[in-house]
Chains A and B, each alone.
Chain A
Amino acid sequence: MEIKREKLDPSDFRVRQLQARDMLRGDLEGEELDKFVEQSVMTTTMSKAVSWSQGNSIYPMTFGLACCAIEMMSIVGMRVDIARFGWEAFRASPRQADLLILSGRVSVKMAPVIRRIYDQMLEPKWAISMGACCSSMGVFNNYALVPSDKFMPIDVHVPGCPPRPEALMHGILRLRDKIQGHPPDGWRERYDAVGTEEVLTPEQQRGSEMDAAINVYPGGDTAGA
Chain B
Amino acid sequence: MSALDTSTYRQREESITYQAESAGMGETHELLTLNIGPHHPATHGVLRLLTTMEGEVIRDVKPIIGYVHTGIEKTAEQKSYWKVIPVIERMDYLSYYFNAMAFCGAVEDLLEVEVPERAQYLRVIHLELDRIMSHMVWLGTSALDLGAISMFWYCFRERETILDLFEMSSGQRMHTRYFQVGGVIEDIPRGFASKLRQFCNEMPTRADQYADLLEKNQIVLERLRGTCAMPAEELLKIGVTGPLLRAAGNPWDLRKAAPYSSYDKFDFKIPVGTVGDNYDRYRVRHAEIYESVKIIEQALEGLPEGPFITPDRKVSLPPRHELATSMEALIHHFKLVTEGFRVPPGEAYHAIEGPRGELGCFVRADGSGKPARVHMRDPSFTHLQALAPMVKDAYLADMIATLAMLDPILGGIDR
Interface of A with B (CB < 8 Å)?
62-67, 69-71, 73-74, 76-79, 92, 104-105, 107-110, 113, 117, 133, 139-145, 161-162, 164, 217, 223-225
Q: How far is the CA of A66 from the CA of B69 in the complex (A)?
A: 10
B69 touches A224 (CB 8 A): no
Q: Which of B20-66 contact A (CB under 8 A)?
A: 38-41, 43, 45-46, 66
Confirm or deny: B156 has a beta carbon within 8 angstroms of a beta carbon on chain A.
yes
Residues from chain A with Cβ under 8 Å of B87 in the complex: 139-140
A65 touches B45 (CB 8 A): yes
Q: Which of B46, B69, B72, B175 has the most CB of A within 10 A?
A: B46
The residue of chain B having its C-beta at the shortest distance from the C-beta of A77 within the complex is B156
Confirm or deny: B8 has a beta carbon within 8 angstroms of a beta carbon on chain A.
no
A142 touches B71 (CB 8 A): yes
From residue A73, how far is it (CB to closest CB) to chain B in Å?
Answer: 7
From residue B119, how far is it (CB to closest CB) to chain A in Å?
Answer: 24
A66 touches B41 (CB 8 A): no
From residue B335, how far is it (CB to closest CB) to chain A in Å?
Answer: 9
Residues from chain A with Cβ under 8 Å of B156 in the complex: 73-74, 76-78
Q: How far is the CA of A172 from the CA of B123 in the complex (A)?
A: 36
Shortest beta-carbon contacts, A-B, top 5 = A77-B156, A67-B93, A144-B71, A92-B41, A224-B339
Residues from chain B with Cβ under 8 Å of A66 in the complex: 45, 68, 70, 90, 93, 410-411
Residues from chain B with Cβ under 8 Å of A63 in the complex: 39
The residue of chain B having its C-beta at the shortest distance from the C-beta of A62 within the complex is B41
Q: How far is the CA of A194 from the CA of B54 in the complex (A)?
A: 66
A70 touches B137 (CB 8 A): yes
B71 touches A79 (CB 8 A): no
Confirm or deny: B188 has a beta carbon within 8 angstroms of a beta carbon on chain A.
no
**B70 touches which of A77, A79, A107 (Cβ 8 Å):** A107
Q: Which of B84-135 contact A (CB under 8 A)?
A: 86-87, 90, 93-94
Residues from chain B with Cβ under 8 Å of A164 in the complex: 173
B340 touches A139 (CB 8 A): no
Task: Summarize B's interface: helix, strand, loop or mixed.
Answer: loop
B93 touches A143 (CB 8 A): no
B330-371 near A? 1/0 per residue, CB < 8 Å: 000000001110000000000000000000000000000110
Q: Which of A70, A161, A225 has the most CB of B within 10 A?
A: A70
List the one stretch of B11-19, B74-82, B373-381 in contact with chain A.
Answer: B74-82
Residues from chain B with Cβ under 8 Å of A69 in the complex: 43, 45
Confirm or deny: B280 has a beta carbon within 8 angstroms of a beta carbon on chain A.
no
**B67 touches which of A79, A107, A140 (Cβ 8 Å):** A107
Confirm or deny: B285 has a beta carbon within 8 angstroms of a beta carbon on chain A.
no
From residue B398, how far is it (CB to closest CB) to chain A in Å?
Answer: 20
**B74 touches which of A62, A73, A142 (Cβ 8 Å):** A142
Task: Count contacts on B: residues with CB < 8 A to the other chain.
Answer: 43
From residue A2, how far is it (CB to closest CB) to chain B in Å?
Answer: 58
A105 touches B157 (CB 8 A): no
Q: Given the interface contacts A92-B41, A113-B67, A223-B339, does A162 sit within 8 Å of B174 by beta carbon? A: yes
**A109 touches which of B39, B67, B339 (Cβ 8 Å):** B67
Confirm or deny: B9 has a beta carbon within 8 angstroms of a beta carbon on chain A.
no
Q: Which of B70, B370, B410, B411 has the most CB of A within 10 A?
A: B70
B338 touches A140 (CB 8 A): no
Q: How far is the CA of A187 from the CA of B96 in the complex (A)?
A: 34
Confirm or deny: B407 has a beta carbon within 8 angstroms of a beta carbon on chain A.
no
Confirm or deny: B159 has a beta carbon within 8 angstroms of a beta carbon on chain A.
yes
B90 touches A67 (CB 8 A): yes
Residues from chain A with Cβ under 8 Å of B157 in the complex: 77-79
B71 touches A143 (CB 8 A): yes
Q: Given the interface contacts A64-B45, A78-B153, does A224 sit within 8 Å of B369 by beta carbon? A: yes
From residue A105, how far is it (CB to closest CB) to chain B in Å?
Answer: 5
Confirm or deny: B264 has a beta carbon within 8 angstroms of a beta carbon on chain A.
no
Q: Given the interface contacts A62-B41, A223-B339, A224-B340, does A110 sit within 8 Å of B160 by beta carbon? A: no
A140 touches B72 (CB 8 A): yes
Confirm or deny: B277 has a beta carbon within 8 angstroms of a beta carbon on chain A.
no
B80 touches A224 (CB 8 A): yes
B158-189 near A? 1/0 per residue, CB < 8 Å: 01100000000000011100000000000000
Q: How far is the CA of A139 from the CA of B71 in the complex (A)?
A: 11
B159 touches A140 (CB 8 A): no
From residue A197, how far is it (CB to closest CB) to chain B in Å?
Answer: 29
Residues from chain B with Cβ under 8 Å of A133 in the complex: 70
The residue of chain B having its C-beta at the shortest distance from the C-beta of A61 within the complex is B39
Confirm or deny: B297 has a beta carbon within 8 angstroms of a beta carbon on chain A.
no
Q: How far is the CA of A48 from the CA of B189 in the complex (A)?
A: 51
